[in-house]
Structure 1
Amino acid sequence: MAAEVFIQRFPVDAADIDELGHVNNIVYLRYAQEIAIAHWRARASPEMIATYVWVVMRHEVDYRAALKLGDEVEVRTWVDDQARGPAWARFVEIYKAGAEKPSAQIKSNWCLLDAQTRRIRRVPPDLVERFV
């Protein structure tokens, strides 16, 4: 079963540009964070949102091409087809709008926590079903 691809667009602002004249590396991670949150809020039930929170355990980023001021960025995300205990892999591709190849590819490992106790929780099957 293939996971749904969730897409958002972001403008590149002056504050995103580093001393080399392109989007700063940390901004790519901000895009990944923002789309992960938006995807979660769009697909999880209100009960799930009240019960769980996610924290990042690891990011792996491959930078492929520079983004510049004035570019519109299309960010695509999806999750692995299965969670592994409390961990779930999320994939993000960041494109200059209209480009065929991504400017960056990110794989992040997220961990599910209980929203109240902040203790690790196994990802329940009904949660996985909402995203794949």
Structure 2
Amino acid sequence: MGASVKTAALHRYHVPIESTDIDFMGHVNNASYLKWVQDAVVDHWRSLAPADAVARHLWVALKHEITYRRPTFLGDDVIATVLLEKVQGARAFYETIMRRGEEVVAEVRSSWCCVDAKTLRPARLASDIVDRFFREPAAD
């Protein structure tokens, strides 16, 4: 039998919509989605990485590609579902889907660079840390 492929652990993040997120058109400004995806990815990291790794590493966004599907408004209940697709060296690739109920309001593909908190140089994560973000498939 071949080796089993691990799957990424989904992480859900409740998106706080503030009155300052609302633009002149009465809905959330597109720039707010950048803050939300950053907050969601960092929350994902902090929720699964050990405390010493969180203290030693920071994440810098390299690229965001956002597809806006529906406008969001003050009072909406938005949940971001974060999925770490892969880690290559010091880079991590994420997909984040933002939903209001079952309705997708935005999809974000992003890449990030892990940096050493002291030197601010790119840093590879140890495999045991990366493994925390993936799980074995369920037994049949």
Instruction: State the TM-score, normalized to the length of structure 2.
Output: 0.86
SS in 1 for 2:70: coil
CA contact under 8 A between 2:79 and 2:99: conserved in structure 1?
yes
SS in 2 for 1:69: coil
TM-aligned CA deviation for residue 14 of structure 1: 1.9
2:62 equivalent to 1:57:
yes
CA contact under 8 A between 1:11 and 1:70: conserved in structure 2?
no
Q: Which runs of 4+ in 1 moved over 3 A?
A: none
Instruction: Write the distance in 2 (CA, Å) between the matches of 1:51 and 1:88.
Output: 16
Question: Any unmatched runs of 5+ in structure 2?
Answer: 1-5, 135-140
Q: Could you tell me which of 110, 127, 130 is aligned with 2:129? A: 127
Q: Could you tell me which of 90, 93, 100 is aligned with 1:89? A: 93
Q: Could you tell me which of 9, 13, 20 is aligned with 2:18? A: 13
SS in 2 for 1:126: helix
TM-aligned CA deviation for residue 122 of structure 1: 2.0
TM-aligned CA deviation for residue 68 of structure 1: 1.2
CA contact under 8 A between 1:113 and 1:120: conserved in structure 2?
yes
Q: Aligned in 2, Cα 1:50/1:13: closer, same or farther, shift over 3 Å?
A: closer
Larger radius of gyration: 2
Instruction: Write the distance in 2 (CA, Å) between the matches of 1:116 and 1:41.
Output: 18
CA contact under 8 A between 1:59 and 1:106: conserved in structure 2?
yes
RMSD: 1.3
TM-aligned CA deviation for residue 12 of structure 1: 2.5
Query: Which residue pairs with 1:118 in the alignment?
Result: 120
SS in 2 for 1:70: coil
Q: Letter of the 1:84 partner, please give it.
A: Q
Q: Letter of the 2:24 partner, please give it.
A: E
SS in 2 for 1:106: strand
User: How many residues align structurally?
Assistant: 129
Instruction: State the TM-score, normalized to the length of structure 1.
Output: 0.91
Aligned pairs for 1:44-83 within 5 A: 44-80=49-85, 82-83=86-87
Question: Any unmatched runs of 5+ in structure 1?
Answer: none
Q: Letter of the 1:38 partner, please give it.
A: D
Instruction: Write the distance in 1 (CA, Å) between the matches of 2:55 and 2:19.
Output: 35
Structure that is richer in strand per residue: 2
CA contact under 8 A between 2:42 and 2:59: conserved in structure 1?
no
